[in-house]
Structure 1
């Protein structure tokens, strides 16, 4: 009797999940689409508000935290052009 009761509960939970997912899945999808639209729209707005630089103009967006350079990076290699 306990086995039949367990199988009945599993089947009941399965069908309950199917019914609830049909009801709430469209709502969750609308919510996810709205959030993605806000995120991408915000990026587009931010990009539109930034001033446009002239062609060839150099701008620095981020200044590095350290002011020292690492001289032990590697060896300098001078390449020659072969004709």
Structure 2
């Protein structure tokens, strides 16, 4: 089994709606974020991924850690994710 280290964000708008994303050619929705690059900490990985994926630039203080979670990957067989999840 492969394990991927990722960072993800629960991003809420003023109405309390949660932003979810979906990769092309997949069925499942997920939190925005992505894989950490070698040597990258969770917060740095998340801010980079949010900029790359959503063109969203958030200061580190805007992201509050929610916890660490482990689960089977939604779109990659025989793969687990270790996720650092933040809220903004």
Question: TM-score interval w.r.t. the shorter chain?
Answer: under 0.3
With normalisation by structure 2, the TM-score equals 0.17
With normalisation by structure 1, the TM-score equals 0.18
- In terms of fraction of residues, the more strand-rich structure is 2
**Higher RCO, 1 or 2 (CA under 8 Å, sep at least 6)?**
2
When Rg is computed on C-alpha atoms for both structures, the one with the higher figure is: 1
- In terms of fraction of residues, the more helix-rich structure is 1
